Structure 1
Amino acid sequence: MTEFSGSGDPVRSLELLWRVQSRPKRGPKQRLDLDEIVAAAIALAAADGLPALSMRKVAERLGVGTMSLYTYVPGKPELLDLMVDAAIEPPAPLPDAGWRAKLERIARENWDRYHRHPWLLDVTPVRPVLGPNTIARYEHELSALEGVGLTDVEMDSALGLVNGHVESSARRALEAAQAEQRSGLTDEEWWSARAPVLERVIEPDRYPIASRVGTAAGEAHNAAFAPEHAFAFGLTTVLDGIEFLIQARASDA
């Protein structure tokens, strides 16, 4: 089940994200703060998955009534925006290095975040969550490309290309891990169980390229799919493309 960010009341979400109005307008004396509520929601999403998240379950975890929770957050859409921005976390300083090393660091940070908060992959950013962490990270990530010769639009597009690769790679990596948990078999065990039949039905002479390449990849990774390799290989290729663009802009100058 996919959830959509930015689907709640835009004004109320922004007020909550930026803590413009931190105290509830109505209801009993304030017992909680917004950070407690967001932390509880993130813990529930981590434990049970985003589809299982509800205002009632968050309230139960906090030991309050569901209706009292609505005096802090209007509903689940606004809570989801708060969760996403909190999970993004304030960025750490980038290394004193070239743009490529900086983008590699950014990609690794985002890869690690998806593994810490896999529920983020169930959120479709129909509209961006314009919270303080989100804006700070956008500024932080764009700074890696500042002054390299790209236009502002190209900087935004290059960053989007890197982050899109990270998201898709993390999704495949987590899906592979979930498949192992569901089946109770490692990737090696899964293939070993099918190998006898495959050896009978697949003729190498009929599929020479697939047989050669598949065998080489399987021997290299000891699996049909190696998430870390796919992430690293794709990132290198994406950065090579951005480097080519930067060099092209320099030659045009």
Structure 2
Amino acid sequence: MENDAFPAGVEAAWGLRDRPVKGPKRGLTLDGIITAAVAIADGEGAEAVSMSRVAKELGSSTMALYRYVATKDELVTLMVDSAVGAPAPLPDDVTGWRAGLEYWCVSMREALLRHPWAIGLVAASGGPPITPNQLAWLDQSLRILSGTRLGHGEKIAITLLVSGQVRSEASITAILLQDPEGTKRRLAGYKDFLRRVTENGRLPALREAVEDGAFDNLDADAAAESDEFDDFDFGLQRALDGVAAYLAATDDIPVPHSSQSDPTEATAE
């Protein structure tokens, strides 16, 4: 039985709804439409995607596309799912919930940064994940946490926590990568800018951080060569520390404090 609460194209992507078998152009498929739309977004940004533009790329009529996707919003939903892709299987040497979630987060970040236009659209979808690949990521996270005694609601909440961490950092990275020369200029002058805006007692805590050297090494070239501090890894490890502390408090298990910990020690039996 069809569920009108979900887009027809999404249900077709799951094989829950028959796809058109007749049309004005032979060979037109939902997968082909999505692939063409993703290629446009990769080359020109998501704003360049329209039903008519995709149809032109496929040598088809715009009306023919509407036999597969009812609206542009529906197409964008499927584009994002295709861009993110399915999660890779966990390597055999990745064991325990912490090592598993760390691998999961790093893999998701890499997937998002391959298609930066999709990052904001993932969070802007306005509802729970419904597409095949996005639900596959959720399923993998739940399986990673299956060795703990957490309830399913807690596992989902932890997934939302760490995936939000990934998207937040990836969105900042994507913005910086869009204009590398402008980013380099802004970073080079950022400390001086902060000194000026924190004069005369304004923003005292920020001024203290500036004077303490927190913004001394923002030159893009120096940052690329330095391996002393990784913003993404630092934030991820602190989020995982929080999960570990919660598990320790509720399950009386040891708390691993770094990605270098023995993975077997991070598993909650």
Give the TM-score normalised by structure 1: 0.80
> Match of 1:218, SS?
coil
After superposition, the C-alpha distances for 1:179-233 in whole angstroms (9 at most, x for unaligned) are 43xxx4352x4354577787788769996623333x24423x545x969822111
| Aligned AA (1:133) | N
Structure 2: distance between partners of 1:80 and 1:150: 34
2:90 pairs, out of 88, 94, 104, with 94
Greater displacement, 60-69 / 237-246: 60-69
Q: 1:198 to 1:104 in 2, by over 3 A?
A: closer
Whichever residue aligns with residue 245 of structure 1, its letter is Y
Cα separation, 1, equivalents of 2:192 and 2:152: 55
Pairwise CA distance, 1:78: 1.9
Compute the displacement of 1:23 (Å). Answer: 3.5
Report the 3-state secondary structure (helix = DSSP H, G, I; strand = E; otherwise coil) of the residue aligned with 1:185. Answer: helix
CA distance in 2, matches of 1:93, 1:201: 48
Instruction: Report the counterpart of residue 3 of structure 1 in structure 2.
Output: none
Which structure is richer in relative contact order (CA contacts within 8 A, separation 6 or more)?
Answer: 1
The question of whether the paired residues in 2 share the 8 Å contact of 1:114 and 1:120 is answered with: yes
Aligned equivalent of 2:266: none
Q: Could you state the TM-score of these two structures normalised by the residue count of structure 2?
A: 0.76
- Counterpart in the other structure of 2:101: 103
Shift of 1:178: 2.5
Query: 1: CA distance between counterparts of 2:106 and 2:190?
Result: 35
Identity of aligned residues (%): 37
Corresponding residue pairs, total: 239
Q: 1:247 to 1:52 in 2, by over 3 A?
A: same
1:84 and 1:129 in contact (8 A); partners too: no
Indicate yes or no: 2:175 matched with 1:175: yes
Deviations 1:99-120 (A, max 9, x none): 1111111111111111111121
Distance in 1, matches of 2:192 and 2:77, equals: 50
Distance in 2, Cα, partners of 1:136 & 1:29:
32
**1:129 Cα shift?**
4.0
Confirm whether residue 59 of structure 1 aligns to residue 55 of structure 2: yes
Partner of 1:32: 28
Are the equivalent residues in 1 in contact too, given 2:25–2:60 (CA < 8 A)?
no
Q: Which residue of 1 aligns with 2:182?
A: 185
Which stretch shifts more, 164-173 or 145-154?
Answer: 145-154
Matched residue, 2:142:
142
- Which residue, 8, 13, 16 being the options, matches 2:9? 13
- 2:231 aligned partner: 230
What SS does the aligned partner of 2:230 have? helix
| CA shift in 2, pair 1:100/1:78, >3 Å | same
Residues of 1 paired with 2:193 and 2:77: CA distance? 49
Tell me if the contact between 1:24 and 1:71 (Cα under 8 Å) persists in the aligned partners. yes
**Tell me, which stretches of 5 or more residues in structure 1 are unaligned?**
1-7
- Is this contact kept in 2: 1:94–1:102, CA < 8 A? yes
CA contact (8 A) 2:7 2:74 kept: no
2:132 is aligned with 1:132 = yes
Distance in 2, matches of 1:238 and 1:196, equals 32
The CA distance in 1 between the partners of 2:158 and 2:193, in whole Å, is: 45
Q: Deviations over 1:18-57 (max 9, x none)?
A: 1344542653253222211110011111111112210001
5+ long unaligned stretches in structure 2? 254-269
Aligned match of 1:209: 208
Matched residues in 1 for 2:53 and 2:149: separation?
50
Change (3 A) 1:216 1:81: closer
**Residue pair 1:95, 1:102 contacting (<8 A) in 2 also:** no
CA distance in structure 1 between the partners assigned to 2:242 and 2:87 by the alignment: 25
Q: 2:64 aligns with which of 62, 68, 80?
A: 68
